[in-house]
Amino acid sequence: MDATIESLSRALREFAAARDWEQFHSPKNLASALAVEAAELLEHFQWLTEDQSRQLPADKLAAVSHEAADVLLYLLQLTDKLQIDLAQAAREKLELNAQKYPVERARGSSRKYNDP
């Protein structure tokens, strides 16, 4: 199966159309659903130590992968609805981040770009 952004977006459009769900997929509703799914992803890490979060057991990793997929799918639906080229937006954001966080200032630091 082709896993490109466009093919996933097309599959999501077909999935929603077959169920007559397009009527519910406003940008606001999709953004809300995305936030809920991101919270469900985060829930799997609640109360874990840093080390535990890096060494998830197989069953927990499978659950996390499904939540991560939900986040991706809602994000794809949102960007598709708003006609945002997600790959291009990501490239642009990476470029902006490179400017805000030059290697010589940011290497090994978790400080925000505008912190002294």
Its pTM stands at 0.90
Query: What band does 2 get if pLDDT is binned at 50, 70 and 90?
Result: low
38: tokens are 């991101």
Which structural domains are found in the chain, ordered by start? 26-106 (1.10.287.1080)
Q: How far apart are CA 19 and CA 35, in angstroms?
A: 23
Which of 74, 48, 73 is closest to 61 using CA atoms? 48
31-63 confidence digits (pLDDT tens): 999 999 999 999 999 999 999 999 999 999 999
